[in-house]
Amino acid sequence: MLVKEQSKALFNAAKNLIPGGVNSPVRAFKAVGGDPLFIKSAQGPYLYDEDGNKFIELINSWGPMLLGHGNIAIENAVIEAIKKSPSFGAPTRKEVEMAELIVAMVPSIEMVRMVNSGTEATMSAIRLARGYTGLDKIIKFEGCYHGHGDSFLIAAGSGVATMGTPDSPGVTKGTANDTLTVAYNDLPAVEHTISENKDKIAAIIVEPVVGNMGCVLPASGFLEGLRTLCDQHGIVLIFDEVMTGFRLSKGGAQEVFGVMPDLTTLGKIIGGGLPVGAYGGRKEIMSHVSPAGPIYQAGTLSGNPIAMHAGVAMLRQLSEQPDIYTHLENISAQIEKGFRANLKAIGQHYTINRIGSMISLFFTENEVSDFASAKTSDTERFGRYFNAMMECGVYVAPSQFETLFVSTAIDEKIADEIVAANRKALDMVC
């Protein structure tokens, strides 16, 4: 039985000071029961909590720690930056280096603007699309989560689904009216929505691979169909690659699937673990951003030197070491194969979705291709599974509607330990 005395005491104190005791809702463990663990440190593939418990890490800060915790190149870059001052509020050389790397690595990006979070990136991209087209409405997909901007909290996934508040109070009816939602992977529904709102739609925003209702892959022809529809109707296509950017490949999901968006939003990995975001795309569109153009967006800490140093150190490693993605694929495939063997051994037919180093085990026998099918999962059983995995020394996402992220710090031996823990946890809950 895990010792949680320190975590419990800290959570009780936090609840009097922080709404719900946490600074992001999914961390509260409401979907899985019990109190959250308070983390003290991490190194490589391991996480350590305030009570001294040790876990194999499969969240990796919700994606950014692609190279595991304590990467020496990133640590050294951060130390170098701190010595020169944490912030200037003025341009720096590292901002240029970061932009050069992003433009070189992401196929569709010709210009890029740095911001401070994925949410800020998606909000800014939507404003840019509206300003560029002169139109108001956007299309998003049920279960796709693009941050907590007002335009996106309509039929959202991730923590919103976990908390049972898909339409958050505080979002105005006017904002909601300008956000049109359709089912992910349903191309005919997109076509119908466009025809019903002719010459009113500024943008379609989509996670090319969904990570916020669990890992859900695009159906064959879906992304290509979105590209064609946007070209036909003068709509800006936005890929939210905050999760998939630099995780699925050096060029993200757009490189994997060969579909080029007009705008791309980035975050997580590009900061090497520090708060960061970015949006970029065709020069024709990005040149409308202030001060080059009339569409305003600003940020005191945008291009923060510490985040830029960390991000450049991260992206250089990904650019110069192509075997990183081979390793991630091999280890993730090993984990998936082990999970499937475990399910077969105990006679269960749950669903596993994986692409590269993103993987989800859904507690449903249905194929999961959209939010409706993801919601057929037995979330109560998932909660028991989550706690069983913790007891077995593996830290997975505390929500059925989140993907797992594999890091390069996991080797074949540790992957075998994860598979063994999965078998034991399944035996405990099935």
Q: Which residues form the catalytic set?
A: 145, 240, 268
d(CA 209, CA 229): 19
Question: Smallest Cα–Cα separation from 184: which of 167, 202, 203, 209?
Answer: 209
d(CA 97, CA 110): 14
Sheet of 394-395: strand order equals 39-43, 46-49, 54-57, 394-395
Look at residue 347 and give its three-state secondary structure.
coil
Is the separation of the CB atoms in 125 and 270 below 8 Å?
no
Is the separation of the CB atoms in 117 and 276 below 8 Å?
yes
Give me the sign of the Cα torsion angle 192, 197, 203, 205. negative
d(CA 65, CA 406): 9
d(CA 243, CA 6): 32
Is the separation of the CB atoms in 252 and 263 below 8 Å?
no
Q: How many Å from the N-terminal Cα to the C-terminal Cα in the chain?
A: 19
Residue bearing tokens 């991000």: 311
d(CA 269, CA 106): 13
d(CA 314, CA 269): 8
Residue bearing tokens 């050294």: 76
Q: Name the amino acid, one letter, at 92.
A: T
Look at residue 151 and give its three-state secondary structure.
helix
